[in-house]
Structure 1
Amino acid sequence: MTLIRSKRVYGIDVIRSIAISLVLISHCTYLLYPNNNTIILSFIRTLGAVGVDLFFVLSGYLIGGLLLKNIESGKTSLSHLLIFWKRRWLRTLPNYFLVLVLNVILLLILDDALPKNLWLYIPFLQNFISPHPNFFTEAWSLSIEEYAYLMLPLLLYLSFFMFKRHFKQLFLKLTLAMIIALFAFKISYYFNANVTSYKEWSSGFRKVVLYRIDAIYFGFLLVYFIKKYNTFFMQKKKLFSAIALFVFGSTHLLIYYFSLYPQTHLGLYVFLYIPLVLLSCALLFPYFIDLKQNGILKNVFYFISTRSYAIYLVNYSLILLTVQRYYEVDQISFFAKVLFLVLFLSLTIIIAQIIYLFFERPILSLRDKYVSK
Structure 2
Amino acid sequence: MKSITTYKQRVFGLDVVRAIAILLILCSHSTILLFPESSSTIVKTIQFFGTIGVDIFFVLSGFLIGTILIRHIQNQQTSLKQFISFWIRRWLRTLPNYYLVLIVNIGLLYVFNSEIPKQLYKFFFFLQNFSSQQPDFFTESWSLTIEEFAYIIGPVILLALGLFFKKLNKWSFLIMTCLVIVCITIHRFIFDVHLTKIPEHLSWSKILRKVVIYRIDSIYYGFLGAFFAFYFTKSWKQLKWLSFGFGAFLFVIIHLNIFSNQLNPDHFSTFFNIYYLPLVSISILLTFPVFSNWKKHVLLTPLITKISLWSYSIYLINYSIVLLTIRQFIDVDQVSLIAKFSILVLYWILTFAFSYLLFTFFEYPLIKFRNSINNKYLY
Q: TM-score, normalised by structure 2?
A: 0.95
Give the Cα separation in 2 of the matches to 1:187 and 1:239: 31
Aligned residue in 1 for 2:259: 256
Instruction: Name stretches of at least 5 consecutive residues in structure 1 with no aligned partner.
Output: none
How many percent of aligned residue pairs carry the same amino acid?
41
Structure 1 residue 166, shift from structure 2 partner: 4.6
What SS does the corresponding residue of 2:125 show, helix, strand or coil?
A: coil
Q: Does the Cα contact within 8 Å between 2:147 and 2:219 map onto a contact in 1?
A: yes
Runs (4+) of structure 1 exceeding 6 A deviation are none
Tell me, in whole angstroms, the C-alpha distance in 2 between the residues paired with 1:197 and 1:301. 42
Separation of aligned partners in 1, 2:13 and 2:322: 29
For the 8 Å contact 2:129–2:142, the answer to whether it is kept is yes
Q: CA RMSD in A?
A: 1.7
Structure 1 residues 202-281: aligned runs within 5 Å? 202-281=205-284
TM-score, normalised to structure 1's length?
0.96
Among residues 88, 93, 96, which one is paired with 1:94 in the alignment? 96
Greater shift, 223-232 or 96-105, is seen at 223-232
Q: 1:102 to 1:166 in 2, by over 3 A?
A: closer
CA-CA distance at 1:40 after TM superposition: 1.7
1:297–1:220 CA distance, 2 compared to 1 (3 A):
same
Report whether the alignment pairs 1:172 with 2:169.
no
In terms of mean alpha carbon deviation, does 287-296 or 330-339 score higher? 330-339
Give me the whole-angstrom Cα distance separating, in 2, the residues matched to 1:170 and 1:296: 42
1:91 and 1:207 map into 2 onto residues whose CA distance is 22
Gaps of 5+ in 2: none
Q: How many matched pairs?
A: 373
Q: Provide Cα deviations, 1:261-288, integer angstroms capped at 9, x if missing partner.
A: 1000001101111111101110110001
User: Structure 1 356/122 Cα, relative in aligned 2: closer, same or farther at 3 Å?
Assistant: same
Structure 2 Cα separation of the partners of residues 4 and 198 of structure 1: 47
Is this contact kept in 1: 2:56–2:281, CA < 8 A?
yes
Inter-partner Cα distance in structure 2 for 1:3 and 1:60: 18
Superposed counterparts of 1:312-331, under 5 Å: 312-331=315-334
The residue number in structure 1 matching 2:286 is 283
**For residues 1-373 of structure 1, what are the structure 2 equivalents within 5 Å?**
4-193=6-195, 194-196=197-199, 200-370=203-373, 372=375
CA contact (8 A) 1:35 1:330 kept: no
Tell me how far apart the structure 2 counterparts of residues 63 and 243 of structure 1 sit (CA, whole Å).
25
Render the CA deviation track for 1:144-180: whole Å, top value 9, x for unaligned. 0000001121111232244222521111012111211
Aligned residues of 2:55 and 2:281 also touching (Cα < 8 A)? yes
Q: Given residue 268 of structure 1, which amino acid in structure 2 is its aligned partner?
A: F
Q: Deviations over 1:237-260 (max 9, x none)?
A: 112111111111111111111110
Compare 362-371 and 193-202 and name the one that shifted more: 193-202
